[in-house]
Structure 1
Amino acid sequence: MDIFIIHRSGDYDSANSFIKDAKTALSIKLSPRMLKNSSAPNWKSHAEGEIRSCELVLVYDTKQCSESENTLWEIEVAEKLSKPIVRYDRTIGKDNCFQDLKLAYNFEEEFEECFVSDEGKSEDRFLLFKTMLETSEELIRRRQITNGFFITIIGGLLAGSGFLLKENIVADRSSWLLLVPIMLGLLLCMSWWNLLDNYGKLNRAKFKVINRLERQLSCQIFSAEWIALGKGVRKEKYRSFTDTEKRVPLLFGLLLLVVALVIGFEKFSEFLVAYNLNTSQVSHPP
């Protein structure tokens, strides 16, 4: 997350240290943007550009910043641009600010704003709940189709390469051409792994919405099921389907890589034999 830090010039190093502590404590990616000082003639346009392009603005030490016209101007610009602002007060400590950063990083407030109050019609809530379940099931079907597609294509590449070698359709000197479908297979494995990873993230997001909607219903059956499964931290009770699925493209990729290495080793061995033979003939002419 790109974050612009509003600070006094003398707090540059301590603000940098604060961000490092936040990244370590929260295990989140923060890309700080800071101006060392406001002495440059065009610093305002530079600061406004940085604020405009960032996701979040951090006011480092609200008391100190309130005593500077420059930092007050930066805060005003951030407010005009409707940027989320997190304020750090040294008298309170880091923990509250860290929590605000984490909430902003995970878009928790925006997530909660997407839900109506408990006063809404129960029929409407149940309809939304049903819609999310249907889309989740559709996502599972799409994952199965994706797995079948990649298994068919990559398996076909392996089978085709093996057939060409077995039937001697590819001459020994041209066997390096088999590296082309193998490299294509490796690229497909990478795409497959990435798709499964994104499917997993999308499914987690869907169930986060489902669990939130459940809080407005009489029973929270999916939340109860997740608790019964140990919330994903008890491996003896539950292992992530996504983690298991992602092993398949990795195994296919490993197999393709081994085949590529075998072909490469054979071609290199042939090259060494030919080179040694030529060297021997040159050293011992008839």
Structure 2
Amino acid sequence: MKVFVIHRHSDRAKATKFVKDAKKSLGISLDPILLNNSSAPNWKARAEEEIRTAELVLVFDTEACSKSENAEWEIEIAGKLSKPIVEFNRRETIEVAMEDLKLAYNFENEFDECFSVGQQQTEGNFELFKIMVETSEELIRRRQITNGFFITIIGGLLAGSGFALKEKLIADEATLLLLVPTVLGMLLCWSWRNLIDNYGKLNKAKFKVINKLEMELSSRVFSAEWIALGKGVRKEKYRSFTETEKNVPLLFMMLLFLVAIYISLDWLWPSILSLWTQIQGISHPP
């Protein structure tokens, strides 16, 4: 996340350290923008452009910034551009600012605003709840179809390469051509693994919405189910399907890698034997 940091020049080192500590403690990706010099001729134009492209504006030490005309101008521009602003006040604890930064990073406030209208329309919310559950089930079906597709394609590449090697369908000098399908298979495995990961993230987001809508119902069955499963932190009760599924492409990738090594050795073996014979001849002359 690109963050424009508004700060006094004298606090530059402290502001940089604050962002660095936030990245480490919160485990989030931040790309801080701290302008070096506010006396440059085009400083305001550059500052406005950086604020425009930033996802978030961080005001480091609001009390100190209130005494700076340039910092006040930057805050004003951020407000005009409707940028979310996180303020750090030295009178508050760092944890408060960190929490605000985390909420902004995860779009928590924007997420809650999506439910701020029409909360009393229970019947309408129930219809939305049913739609989200149905789309979640549809996502699972799509995920299974995707897994089946990749297993079929990659399994076919493995079987085809193995059959071609066993039956010597390709001349020895052209054996390396079989590396093409194996490399293609490994690339497909990588793509497959990324898709599984994204399906998992999408499903997690859907259930976050489902759980939010469920709060309007008399019984929160999905939330109860998640609690019964230990909220995902009790490994003896529940292990993520996504994490388990992501191992399957890795196993296929390892198999393809072994096949690639075998193909390479099969192609190099005559040369290795010839070289070994020459070495033996040199070592033991007649």
Could you tell me the TM-score, scaled by structure 2's length?
Answer: 0.95
Q: Does 1:230 align with 2:236?
A: no
Inter-partner Cα distance in structure 2 for 1:22 and 1:228: 33
Match of 1:108 in 2: 108
Q: CA deviation at 1:280?
A: 8.3
1:118 and 1:216 in contact (8 A); partners too: no
Matching residue's letter, 2:164: L
Name the amino acid aligned to 1:55. Answer: E
Deviation track 1:66-117 (CA, whole Å, cap 9, x = no partner) reads 0111111111111111110001101112111111000000000000011145
Q: 2:199 matched to 1:186?
A: no
Deviations 1:217-245 (A, max 9, x none): 11111000000000001011001111111
- Equivalent pairs counted in the alignment come to 286
Q: Is the 1:55–1:83 Cα contact (8 Å) retained in structure 2?
A: yes
Tell me how far apart the structure 2 counterparts of residues 91 and 163 of structure 1 sit (CA, whole Å). Answer: 72
> Which shifted more, 56-65 or 21-30?
21-30
Measure, in 2, the Cα distance between the counterparts of 1:38 and 1:194: 43
Gapped regions of structure 2 (runs ≥ 5): none
| Partner Cα separation in structure 2 for residue 80 and residue 10 of structure 1 | 26
CA contact (8 A) 1:229 1:238 kept: yes
Displacement of 1:271: 2.6
Q: Which residue of 1 aligns with 2:208?
A: 208
The answer to which of 262-271 and 249-258 deviates more is 262-271
Question: Structure 1's 257 and 119: CA in aligned 2 closer, same or farther, altered over 3 A?
Answer: closer
CA RMSD of aligned residues (A): 2.0
Deviation, 1:188, is 0.5
The corresponding residue for 2:63 is: 63
- The TM-score, its normalising length taken from structure 1, stands at 0.95
Structure 2 equivalent of residue 32 of structure 1: 32
Q: Is the 8 A contact 1:56 1:85 kept in 2?
A: yes
Which one-letter code corresponds to 1:207 in the other structure? F
| Residue-by-residue CA offset, 1:234-263 (whole Å, 9 max, x unaligned) | 011001111111111110001001111122
Aligned-partner SS, 1:231 = helix
Q: Are 1:265 and 2:265 an aligned pair?
A: yes
Change in 2 beyond 3 A, CA 1:143/1:283:
same
The CA distance in 2 between the partners of 1:132 and 1:120, in whole Å, is 19
Question: Structure 1 residues 118, 216: closer, same or farther in 2, change over 3 A?
Answer: farther
Task: Work out the CA distance in 2 between the residues paired with 1:77 and 1:194.
Answer: 39
Q: Distance in 2 between matches of 1:119 and 1:39?
A: 50
Shift of 1:56: 0.2
- Percent identity at matched positions? 63
Secondary structure of the residue aligned to 2:52 is helix
1:27-61 superposed Cα distances (whole Å, 9 cap, x missing partner): 11111110122121111111111111110000001
1:3 alignment counterpart: 3
- 110-119 or 1-10, which deviates more: 110-119
Looking at structure 1, the residues matched to 93 and 280 of structure 2 have their Cα atoms a distance apart, in angstroms, of: 78
Task: Measure, in 1, the Cα distance between the counterparts of 2:119 and 2:83.
Answer: 30
Residue 122 of structure 1, CA deviation = 1.8
Give the secondary structure class of the aligned counterpart of 2:216: coil
- Residue 151 (structure 2) aligns with: 151
Distance 1:166 1:269, change over 3 A: closer
Mean Cα deviation higher: 92-101 or 110-119? 110-119
Report the residue type matching 2:95 in the other structure: D
Bigger drift between 180-189 and 270-279 goes to 270-279
Q: Which residue of 2 aligns with 1:240?
A: 240
CA distance in 1, matches of 2:79, 2:275: 72
